[in-house]
Structure 1
């Protein structure tokens, strides 16, 4: 069950049929134990395992959460001036993060007046821009790592509160969430309560 994240997540949320799951894993279990397994025994075992799972159960660590409003999402194109544009942005925002995907360079930065002026000067470097966003950063101490359970608990918390995530980025010690600015206060509040209740 733990090897298949979708099954594990559905089991944690209580939205999976135990009998159907038992029928699905029965051949694998029989291979592991080397004999035939009763389907009812599997259903009972799955039910007992599901009862041990609690949505949002996190290990205590000291995470710090911060919120930045008025964020813009900039997709950059390969242009001879793009490095100069990024360097100038970094002078304005030393904590600037650059995300590179297969065909896009992406930056999230605060929508300040000097940034707007810089964007106007380097307009050819920008292929797409999204406004009205906010950035929530969750930083973990050096002795902790971002793990699947933490990510799932955060995703569950946001989903259960009707908050959509525009983008999300993970490193070994930080989670960065981009949400609509109208949802930022609520997202920050529910995540702060969730993290403080689990981490303090």
Structure 2
């Protein structure tokens, strides 16, 4: 299959898995206000289960990569979060993005297959920046990368994602602890897949 070099997704091409409190297109951007208390998590440690956070999803072909960009200026509260959701079904999904924890923006990935796990890497120098998350499937895994604008890619997770069909992907945002969190998404694109784990893909 011929891979696309890069194709911008229209916001209206996605369908909401749980609509947010409000959303509005502003030129090429999408501003999203999630409802307080909504999130994605399955059982581990806390015991609770959430799958009510807003995510704007479209079909995702495993022969393509997907990228989502957003601004960090509004991230201040505990667990304020946004990024890229990879969704196969209610028990199998991955969310990857920026999440505020201990007062610091963290590159956070939650991988779920019946139960969730959570990895964090502090990036305090990314405060106020535009951030891009990228996912690309290779064999039975997904390679997740992140970067600031004008930076090169940083590989943040390789996780099992062995689903050849039936996948969706797109931007998500959650605000588990406070009202008034607004995320500005700047870009949603489909791109060519990664060719190698240790070779950075092109930057838009």
Which structure has the highest helix share of the two?
1
TM-score normalised by the chain length of structure 2: 0.28
Q: Which has the larger Rg?
A: 1
Higher RCO structure, 1 or 2 (CA under 8 Å, sep 6+): 2
* TM value normalised by structure 1: 0.28
Higher percent of residues as strand: 2
